[in-house]
Amino acid sequence: MEIRLEHTGRKFNTEWIFRNLSYTFESGSAYAVLGRNGSGKSTLLQVIAGNLLPSAGRVIYTHHGAPVTDQEVFRYLSLVAPYQELIEEFTLREMLDFHFSFKKLREGFTVGSITGLLGFGNTGRKPIRQFSSGMKQRVKLACAMFSDTPLLLLDEPTTNLDRAGTDWYLDLVSKHSAGRTIIICSNLHQVESGFCKATLSIEDYK
């Protein structure tokens, strides 16, 4: 999926978070959006996801050469972010069943096989509110990675992950990112987005 930003900007009240951003995220490539805390990385990702409207310019989506409207783009993307919530009353299986009732599973996977890949054992039978923060982050990543969507938007994807969890995330990306457009907002570029071949500094658009 290709995303083209044309003189795009977003402001809150009178303060510009970023502006005059013209950039093309090409289909099937991985990009790291870099910047200090509070610089606007997450806001840019929310604009790309269609959750926030740009205050200036526009965002143009294309999939296999066909235009995708702002209203339909949510069908083509998966998002992971620190502010994203899981339904904590659900068990792991209930959460995955619920998620994949809205998003198509990637070919070759089932909810059962994803549960196995998460490796929680009997812990997965507990309500999600009893999961550690790292376990919750793994669930969010699995929901995104195993959804059959051409666009992955990952905001600080190693949040709450220890070294083993970070290695699990990197292995997941390496195995399931082929042919997908990936945009990662990162404060830890070498750790979580070092494999990206292109970078965008949000602070260049203030």
Domains and CATH numbers, the chain: 2-205 (3.40.50.300)
**Pick from 21, 15, 12, 11: nearest CA to 205:** 21
Per residue in 91-127, pLDDT (tens digit) is: 999 999 999 999 999 999 999 999 999 989 887 789 9
Per-residue confidence in pLDDT tens, the chain, 206 aa: 999 999 999 999 999 999 999 999 999 999 999 999 899 999 999 999 999 999 999 999 999 999 999 999 999 999 999 999 999 999 999 999 999 999 999 999 999 999 999 989 887 789 999 999 999 999 999 999 999 999 999 999 999 999 999 999 999 999 999 999 999 999 888 888 989 989 999 999 98
pLDDT at position 4? 98
pLDDT at position 199? 95
pLDDT at position 125? 83
Q: Which of 50-55's residues contact partners 24+ apart within 8 Å by CB, and which partners?
A: 50/74, 52/10, 54/8, 54/9, 54/10, 55/9, 55/10, 55/11, 55/16, 55/19
pTM over 0.75: yes
State how far the alpha carbon of 99 is from the alpha carbons of 54, 56, 80, 111, in Å: 28, 33, 13, 10
